[in-house]
Structure 1
Amino acid sequence: MQGYYDRLAAALLPMLADRALVRDAVISAVFIFSLMVCRSLVRRAILRRHDLGSEVRRRWVVYLRNCSLGVFTLGMIFIWGHEIQTFAVSLVAIAAAVVLATKEMILCMLGSIFRSSSNAFAVGDRVEIGGVRGQVIDMNLVSTTLMESSHASHCQGTVGRGVTVPNSLLLSQPVFNESMLGDYVLQTIHIAILRSDDWEKAERVLMEAGEVIAAEYAQDLSRHARELERRYALESPMMEPRVRIFLDRYEEIGLQLQVAVPLGQRSKVEQRVLRLFLQGMNTKKSLLKNDVK
């Protein structure tokens, strides 16, 4: 029996040594007891008021209960304020550690919320995110999967790969959606020639190559432009091919062809334009009368 009391004393000794904890516990017990006594006396006095209707007495009892709960909460916060503050600091430290450890995951989830709320793109759209261009084939809470576009630069290797992009990029990188305005996009094709070359012929041949391509779907393109104008209140976009001249380099003349092409055929159209341009530069015939496919 003596051993039991020794163990109990050894367990309570650290708690008794913390005078602040003991003081707060005693004050809390006295406060709770006093609050319960006061609440009981006031409740009994309300129920004995027969001059009040039953609805009024029930309402006052409810008010008394709610006020007692509020006083109890404020009293506990006031008594245990220091301990609550210490516990809150510990929680903040733990929360900060959790946020730092899961920062990327949280950013990916926020990116998914941004994508859904802004309706930036959907499955099947052709987009460019963080320099990665392709067709969206899958979306979830943390990532977006693209099928890499076949429209690549001549120095790029494999294309057509599946690329998984974290949604956190949506918060820091612009998203280019090529499918937002329909089935056609403006394709820009750059060609550079020497200053000593016949640039007027090159401009004419390049323009004819663009007109040959655009003539194949001119009616559908015109209908598509009217639909965009009606749906989005946009000015009718440029449908006719045009060539711009740039003199960025002293020894070269830059020619830039802008032509509307169907989505998914940008690479194919670019190759056809380049072949038509090379063929037109080697012949005196007009491409509009001699379309080579």
Structure 2
Amino acid sequence: MESLDYLKTWMTEHATATELLKYLLWVVVIVLGISFLRRLLKRRLPDISVRYKAQKGVEIIGYLFIILLTISYFTGNIQDFTLAIGLLTAGITITLQELILSIAGSFYIFLVRVYKPGDRIEINGIKGDVIDVDSIYTTMMEIGEWVSSDNYSGRIVKLSNAFVFKGPIYNYSQDFPFVWDELTLPIRYGSDVELAKSIVVEIATETLSDYVNQSIEKWQEVVKKYYIEDAVVNPTLAITMTDNWMQFNLRYIVDYKKRRMTKHLLNEKIGKAFLASEEKVRLASATFEIVQIPPVKIQTGDNSAT
């Protein structure tokens, strides 16, 4: 009984410390609640995508509760939200600018759906597949750098969410998970042009038919959603006459994750078809023609020149 009276007396005499302890206790309760709900959702939700979004939603809501709790304890009234924000911003904006932008960026990413885990993006000069988005960082599996084409480098990159406000974001998979790619072939002058054209177009049409069929429906959705003109998704071939050869430029659509393999298949099949044409179609290479050889003087032992 005496201990209880002593505790009441101490709490009365140290009101500020008491309020601070209550605040810390509530913060601990909220953090533990977030952790408990995340574990519960992990066990109960079988779908990976739904589970991930639900866990992130619980985390964000928990942070909001902590922010509101902080404002209520240190201002005395939730209605003083604007005044509290103004006073706090004056002291911490400079030191916590990046952190504040990162948290704001996380809200922006989820609400506007700039990108999500599984998307392939390029941001701040870094390209890769998004593998996680938390309240501060976007985590990516890097593509490129010292590795050619669209292959993983093996590095995991953590990028501040603040970068969504600082520059363009290139999304390879949102709305339209296809990209246009090109294959250039130098054809020697004197080759059977019509045969070369038929070989290239036939092989491209056969190899890319699945991508074309899948992309047609997706592109129609893009046209309905955005102010954009319709586009040709079938393979197209353009020919340019150069000083050294006829340049065939094949433009085609492909899954954004399969550019390298698709280009390999096209090169392999077209190359074999050209070889099987019995030299009716031949690939060109850089050549040099010597128009005139300048006169050459040869000095012999008897000082005579020819």
TM-score by length of 1: 0.50
Provide the rounded CA distance (Å) in 1 between the counterparts of 2:273 and 2:217.
Answer: 30
Counterpart contact for 1:190–1:254, Cα < 8 Å: no
- Provide, for residues 100-155 of structure 1, a one-character-per-residue CA deviation record: whole Å limited to 9, x for no partner: 43333333234334323432111222222123222211001221112234799738
Provide the rounded CA distance (Å) in 2 between the counterparts of 1:204 and 1:271.
Answer: 19
Find the counterpart in structure 2 of residue 109 from structure 1: 103
1:138 aligned residue (132, 136, 141): 132
Find the counterpart in structure 2 of residue 177 from structure 1: 171
Q: Give the aligned length.
A: 191
- Structure 1: where are the runs of 5+ without partners? 1-90, 286-293
- Provide, for residues 223-247 of structure 1, a one-character-per-residue CA deviation record: whole Å limited to 9, x for no partner: 4445555666865442211134568
2:202 aligned residue (188, 202, 208): 208
Provide the rounded CA distance (Å) in 2 between the counterparts of 1:188 and 1:270.
Answer: 9
Find the counterpart in structure 2 of residue 241 from structure 1: 235
Identity among equivalent positions (%) equals 20
Provide the rounded CA distance (Å) in 2 between the counterparts of 1:92 and 1:230.
Answer: 45
Q: 1:104 to 1:206 in 2, by over 3 A?
A: farther
Matches within 5 A, 1:67-82: none
| SS class of match (2:181) | strand
How many angstroms does 1:170 deviate by? Answer: 1.7
Provide the rounded CA distance (Å) in 2 between the counterparts of 1:171 and 1:251.
Answer: 48
TM-score by length of 2: 0.49
Matches within 5 A, 1:87-236: 95=91, 98-149=92-143, 154=148, 159-182=153-176, 184-191=177-184, 193=186, 198=191, 200=193, 204-229=198-223, 236=230
Matched, 1:267 2:253: no
- Provide, for residues 208-237 of structure 1, a one-character-per-residue CA deviation record: whole Å limited to 9, x for no partner: 332122224554444444555566686544
Provide the rounded CA distance (Å) in 2 between the counterparts of 1:269 and 1:156.
Answer: 12
Provide the rounded CA distance (Å) in 2 between the counterparts of 1:252 and 1:111.
Answer: 51
Provide the rounded CA distance (Å) in 1 between the counterparts of 2:125 and 2:119.
Answer: 16
Counterpart contact for 2:183–2:251, Cα < 8 Å: no
- Structure 2: where are the runs of 5+ without partners? 1-86, 279-306
Q: 1:112 to 1:245 in 2, by over 3 A?
A: farther
Counterpart contact for 1:145–1:164, Cα < 8 Å: yes
Amino acid at match of 1:191: T
Provide the rounded CA distance (Å) in 2 between the counterparts of 1:254 and 1:173.
Answer: 37
Provide the rounded CA distance (Å) in 2 between the counterparts of 1:152 and 1:240.
Answer: 32
Q: 1:143 to 1:195 in 2, by over 3 A?
A: farther
2:271 aligned residue (278, 283, 286): 278
Provide the rounded CA distance (Å) in 2 between the counterparts of 1:111 and 1:123.
Answer: 15
Q: 1:197 to 1:100 in 2, by over 3 A?
A: farther
Provide the rounded CA distance (Å) in 2 between the counterparts of 1:284 and 1:219.
Answer: 30
Root-mean-square deviation (CA, aligned residues, Å) is 4.1
Provide the rounded CA distance (Å) in 2 between the counterparts of 1:197 and 1:152.
Answer: 40
Find the counterpart in structure 1 of residue 51 from structure 2: none
